[in-house]
Amino acid sequence: MPPAPTAKPDRRAIAARFAFVAPMVKALIPAAALAVAAAPVWANAASPLEVLKPWSRPAVAGTNGIGYLVLANHGRAADSLEKVESPIAARVEMHAMSMAGGVMSMKKVDRIAVPAGGETTFAPGGYHLMLLGLTKTLKAGDKAPVTLTFASGAKLAVGLVVSDGMGPPPAGR
């Protein structure tokens, strides 16, 4: 016995039935984008640590990249950043820049303190992350993934938003 013929759905009837969905989705997209932009990059109720304003600059694969961010510690105990890893770099080092006698120098550091109830800023001319041996080209709008490991055992995964090269990306990106 041959299978029963199946009726094709009337596309216009289906479209008319769900026409109210498109305006609702269009209205919700800006609200969702605003909520994401306003939220911290990483926050977890189980940890007092938070990463704010993570960014990087464009860089070509095979060269080195750089990372900047702000580490906020909302807890009552100090912590320290001890290790940084990235799947797109051979290794990641923490560096500090300093000026002495009119000469700027950079040195690798093994840990960077994050005070209780305070912040530590990674910015041009100060602390920064060096992504050594990039395996991927970083273009404006990309996110360079890094995992930060702290003395407390906390691990924060974050994406460094690649700017256009002229400073941090606009807020909300």
pLDDT tens for residues 6-39? Answer: 666 566 655 555 555 455 444 444 434 333 333 4
Asked whether residue 32 is assigned to any structural domain, the reply reads no
Asked whether residue 172 is assigned to any structural domain, the reply reads no
**Secondary structure element (H or E) that encloses residue 131, with its range:** strand 128-134
pLDDT digits 0-9 by tens, 124-167: 999 999 999 999 999 999 999 999 999 999 999 999 999 998 88
Q: Which is nearest to 159 in space by CA: 79, 108, 80, 136? A: 136
d(CA 122, CA 131): 14
CATH of the domain at 144: 2.60.40.1890
Would you say 25 and 18 are in contact if contact means Cβ atoms under 8 Å apart? no
Residue 90 φ then ψ, to 5°:
-60, -40
Question: How many domains does one find in the chain?
Answer: 1
Asked whether residue 9 is assigned to any structural domain, the reply reads no
Asked whether residue 24 is assigned to any structural domain, the reply reads no
Q: In terms of residue numbers, what domain contains 48?
A: 42-162
Q: What pTM does this model have?
A: 0.72
CA 43 to chain centre: 12
pLDDT at residue number 130: 98
Question: At residue 33, what is the residue type?
Answer: A
d(CA 73, CA 67): 19
